[in-house]
Amino acid sequence: GIHELHVLEDVLRQSTAEIKQQVAERIRAKIRWTKQPGETDLAFLEAYYSALRRRLEQRMLLGERKADKFDVR
């Protein structure tokens, strides 16, 4: 949801390489993504951020808005 997007923005802007690695590993595990050869954690997080943002914006156009992952509206 929107909260997760904001947290990911903060990770991309302000965190250390170690934190980016930990976040990337957790997201990969959650979505069952296998790290590709040559794929950096930063590139993965940026791509995931773009896809998540695009998905949320598309859903908002349809009138759906989720505050966070626990929002069941």
**pLDDT tens-digit map of 21-70:** 999 999 999 999 999 999 999 999 999 999 999 998 888 766 666 655 66
- With 0.95 as the threshold, say if the pTM is over it: no
Report the pLDDT value the prediction gives residue 38, as an integer from 0 to 100.
Answer: 97
Residue 49 and residue 12 in contact, taking contact as beta carbons nearer than 8 Å: yes
Decide which of 6 and 66 is more confident.
6
Residue 22 and residue 69 in contact, taking contact as beta carbons nearer than 8 Å: no
Helix (H, G, I), strand (E, B) or coil at 71: coil
Residue from 23, 16, 30 nearest 69 by CA: 30
